[in-house]
Each structure stands twice: as C-alpha cells, then as structure tokens.
Amino acid sequence: MFDHYPGWAQEFAQKYLSRTINQFILHGNVHDLVPLQRKEQSDFVRLKSFLSEEFFGARDYVIFYDRSSGIYFRDGESKKDFNRALSGRDSLLGTDCANKMPKDPVRVFSLLEQYFRVRIDDKKSIALIIDYANTIVPMNEAGASGSEDRTSMVYLSRWAHDPMFLAADFTTVLLTENLADLNKTLVQNPYTTDIKINIPDEQQRRQFIDFESSGEEFQAFSEVSEKVVVQQTAGLNFINLRSILSNARENKEKITHDRLSEAKKELIEAEAYGLLEFVETEYTLDDVAGHTKVKEHLRHAVQALKSGRQDVLPMGYLVCGPVGTGKTFLVTCFASEVGIPMVKLKNFRSQWQGVTEGNLEKILGILKAMSPVAVMIDEADAYLGDRDASGDSGVSSRVFSQIATFMSDTRNRGEIIWFLMTARPDLMPVDLKRQGRAEEHLALFPPHTKEERVELFNAMKKKTGLQLTEEYTPQVIEQGLKTFSGADMEAALTRAKFRAAAQDLDEVTPEILDLALNDFLPPTYPEEIELQTLSAVIECTSKELLPERYQEMDRGEILSKIEELKYRIG
C-alpha cells in the first residue's frame, strides 16, 4: 500500500495506522525533497507538499503553523472554514482575531484547540503540521523554560494523550532538523514518537539525476560519468544536487572532477553550519619523514579500503606522541593517499542551551551520509571531554556520550574512520580508547638514527622550499648533535631562509644553514616531553610499531616514571 513511499514515510504510516499515537516528530533532512515512485516514474516533492497532498491527502483539514507565517492552510476551503469559526468566536468574546491573526504559539494553540474540538465533534479529520518546532518548544532545562515554552508544552502534551483526540482522526506532526533542539520532555513523552529522515542514499541520488535530466542531456553538461557523480555526491541532499546540476545546465559550466569536488565541499560545509572543514593537501605519505613502520601500517589500511575490505579496518586510530612529531601532517597525508574525503571537526560548542547537542547531531548525520570519510580530531584529550564532566549543566557529558555511541556503531566500520590525535593520551578517557572505538594506537617519536634525521631534514627542506647553493647535509643533523622534531626542523630552516633574505640572497649557503641550525634553541620542556614520550610508548597497541629502543622497556617501570613525572610537573 505504501511501497511508493520512502522508508521513513512507510514507518510513519505503519505507526499512524496502529492508532495508538497521534503525535509525531519528523527530524533530520526535513527541508529537502521527498522521492515518490508513481507509475514507474519517479517524482520529487517538498516535504510539506508530500504531507498535505499525499500522506494526509484524504484529511478534511490540513493546517500549518510556524512562528514566522502563523497559521496557514492546504486549501482555500479550509481557510474559509477556519475564518468562519473564528468570526463566530470573535462575536461571542468581543475579540478581533479574524482580522488580526496571532502568531505567538500560546494564542495560536488556544484558537486551534477550540477549533479542533468543534470539528472533531463534527467527525472531521484533521492534521496539524508545525514547522521549526524547535522554536516553539526548544531544548531547555525545566527551570530555564519560559512561561510561553511551558504553555506550548502543555498544549502539545494534552493533544497527544487526550482521549477525544486519540479517538478522532487527528494527527500532529512536528518538524525539526535536530531532535536535540527539542524539549526533552516532549521527545521522551510515551505518547510521542520520532522518525528520522535521512540524507539521500546512492540509489536515491541516481533516481534524482535521472529525474532531473535525460542521459543525453546529462552527458552534454558533464564531463564526469553519472556513476561517478552519484558516488562523489554522498552527503548531499536533493536540493544540493539540484544546485550542482542547474549550475552546469544554466551557466554552461560543465561538471568536472574539480568543480564537483569544490561544490560538494562548499555545500556540505554550509549544511553543517560551517562546523565541518575539509582537510586537503598535495602531500602523500611519501612526504612524511621517518615513522617508517607506522607509514607501512597505514598503507595496508589504504590497500584494504581500495580493495573493498572495510571489515578488516579498525573503527578508529589514536595517534599520539610528543609535540612536533607530525601527527596532524601524517594523518592529512594518509587522507590524501587513501582517496576518501577527510574532515576536521571545528568547535561545535555553544553558550546557548541545547545548541551544542543540536550541532553535533547535525554533524554526525552528515558524516553518516557522506561515508566513506575520515574524521580528524586534533587535541582530542581537550576537545572531546569525558563522561564525568560537570559545571555546564551536563552538556559535556551528553556530548561525550553522543560521540562515544556514534564511534562504537560497528555498521560504520571502514565507512567512518576516526583519527584522534593527542600528545597526552593518558588524559583521554578509557571509553574512547578501548577496542570498538579508537582501536589502533599509533605512537610517533622524534628521529634518533642518522637515516631518520637526514630524511627529516630533506623532507622539511622540500616543505619549506629551502634552496641551497650546493648539495649539503649539516653535521649537526648527521651526527645528532641536537634533537630536532619535525616542527623544530621546519622552524630552523625557515630561519635560515630569513638570514639569507636579510643578505639579499635567493639561496641559502652551507655557512648560513650551519649558523641557523647551531643558533636555533627550541623551547625546552624536558619533563613534559619525556612524559609525552613515555605516555605514547605505553599507549601504543603494537610492539612492532615501536622503535627498537622502546620495545624491550619494562612497562611497569614506564608507568612508575609516568606517575613520577606527573607529580613533578604538577
């Protein structure tokens, strides 16, 4: 009966037909088009049009409400009927609501309830669709809710369990992007159920492209095959996809790999309120100096992904090591080599009640839709918080719980790969580091052998664009007279370029390079660096990935040393 409906609408219909619930929350991709299969042809309509004309097409009255537009109707007859009822009410009470229709939820709900009760007595069927429901009953702690919010909650709760409304053909539908933006009392009400509308999957995107353009027309404005466009637009909704197709068709700008990638990046960042940032680089793992075994391990992951063996990949990686060892650069280069998009989570926390959880819900939904994707979280020990965080009305603990639950969903194995980076893995909660979440723990260390030091020097010379007057490797590097991390080396070589520029030279002489390297004094925090180093050693989950000097160290002694360093650092 509902086979031509998308999955969420079929679920909606089944729950509605159970006749036990009359209040529904639709959340997720609510401002997109709805796909319909009609007589072997696809059609795509706006959600509110689908609800009013298709899903509730047989209802006598379909009424819409949002704070901006106030009350509006599916058709003119419904509007006339409501205005007649309102005029009669005005005559009795001496009000003028028919001419000055209120828009605030309390007065609107009062008018609607009176109208509903009269029409239900007349055996009429009614559907009320409330858009932007999060502005009517927003997420607030009970004590922080205003009187208007609480009154709106009372009306909605009463309509959900009032025997008269339950017995009638009456339905309330609330629309919101993020379930976390709604008052928890309403969401958890046993008389209310929520249904998520997901971002379109691959099959739906293919149907939409076929709907928007014929095969010949598509080939005329796209240099990329339809199959590739379908694959590369994961994470976009139908309206985003229409924007790409319309731009190519109307502006005569053919779809190319580069334009498609750029358009997807811009659209997804906009959909995520700017809280997701795409990480892009021209470098690969070949440009990473040292860390030979770690790079080999990551290349095995690249091979598994490209071979379609997502089942053998870890849910996520914890990348740790002292500051300056190139954790972020390594992960960025991995993303470049593996050929899947990598995004970085920006600060989604807000000072406003409920907004943080709503932002995170939106981000996680987009990540799920655009898989396969890699997610980078820098300074993860500070960024993610923990389950026991306090002092912010429980926001941090709820955020931690949302992320931890999402990370442990095994359906995402090989589809969403997490990279948590930190110099202090000991500060991260065990919940995130355990198997089933960030399963592989990789440790990075500064170079110690001559080969590693020279490789780091050459890599940083390339990265900084250092031009030497002749081929030259400084003795301070070859003999290890100083310890340079990747960040230290980059800073020292940049100083050498600065010294050459001060002498009006385009290239750096060996003498200037030696002078800059010998003069460079990196900020030294020996105890902090030692603590970070030993924490990385103890955290690494693979013995063979550790440098030889750390493989046979007694773990009990390392733990004792870590505790001693923590005490001394304070």
Separation CA 403–CA 386 (nearest Å): 10
At residue 31, the pLDDT reads 93
Tokens of 200: 């379109």
Report which secondary-structure segment, H or E, holds 551.
helix 548-551
At residue 334, the pLDDT reads 87
* CB-CB contact of 77 with 109 (8 Å): no
At residue 65, the pLDDT reads 96
* CB-CB contact of 453 with 477 (8 Å): yes
Cα-flanking dihedrals φ and ψ of residue 68, to 5°?
Answer: -75, -50
For residue 372, say if its preceding peptide bond is cis, omega within 30 degrees of 0. yes
Candidates 426, 453, 442, 385; CA nearest to 530 is 426
At residue 59, the pLDDT reads 93
Helix (H, G, I), strand (E, B) or coil at 517: helix
Separation CA 376–CA 231 (nearest Å): 22
| Partners of 440 in beta bridges | 317
CA angle 498-500-506, nearest 5°? 110
At residue 200, the pLDDT reads 92
At residue 281, the pLDDT reads 81
Pairing relationship of beta strands 126-130 and 61-66 according to DSSP bridges: parallel
- Give Dmax (Cα) for the chain: 98
| Partners of 23 in beta bridges | 172, 192
**Could you give the C-alpha distances from 421 to 330, 395, 503, 534, in angstroms and in order?**
10, 23, 40, 16
| Partners of 343 in beta bridges | 278, 375
At residue 172, the pLDDT reads 96
Q: What's the pTM value of the predicted model, to 2 decimals?
A: 0.76
At residue 141, the pLDDT reads 58
At residue 399, the pLDDT reads 77
At residue 251, the pLDDT reads 83
User: Within 13 Å, how many C-alpha atoms sit on residue 28's CB side?
Assistant: 21
* CB-CB contact of 321 with 288 (8 Å): no
Separation CA 547–CA 535 (nearest Å): 14
* CB-CB contact of 384 with 437 (8 Å): no
In which region does residue 427 sit, left (phi positive, over 0), alpha (psi from -120 to 50) or beta (all else)? alpha
Q: What residues contact residue 249 under an 8 Å CB cut-off, 6+ apart? A: 213, 217, 221
Crossing angle of helices 105-121 and 76-93, rounded to 10°: 100
**Could you give the C-alpha distances from 4 to 32, 37, 42, 419, in angstroms and in order?**
18, 5, 9, 40
Separation CA 141–CA 398 (nearest Å): 14
At residue 387, the pLDDT reads 66
Q: What residues contact residue 206 under an 8 Å CB cut-off, 6+ apart? A: 226, 230
Crossing angle of helices 355-369 and 257-271, rounded to 10°: 150
Q: What is the pLDDT along the chain (570 residues), one digit of tens a residue?
A: 566 789 999 999 999 888 788 999 999 999 999 998 877 777 899 999 999 999 999 999 999 999 999 999 999 999 999 988 888 887 877 777 777 888 899 999 999 999 999 999 999 999 999 999 999 998 875 545 677 888 999 999 999 989 999 999 999 999 999 898 898 889 988 889 999 999 999 899 999 998 888 777 888 888 888 888 888 888 899 999 999 999 888 888 888 888 888 888 888 888 877 788 888 888 888 888 888 888 888 888 888 887 878 778 888 899 998 888 888 888 888 888 877 888 888 777 665 656 777 788 888 888 888 888 889 888 888 777 666 655 556 667 777 888 888 888 888 888 888 999 998 888 888 888 887 788 889 999 888 788 888 888 888 888 899 999 898 989 888 888 888 888 888 899 999 999 999 999 999 999 999 999 999 887 667 788 888 888 988 988 888 888 888 888 888 888 998 898 888 887
Helix (H, G, I), strand (E, B) or coil at 68: coil
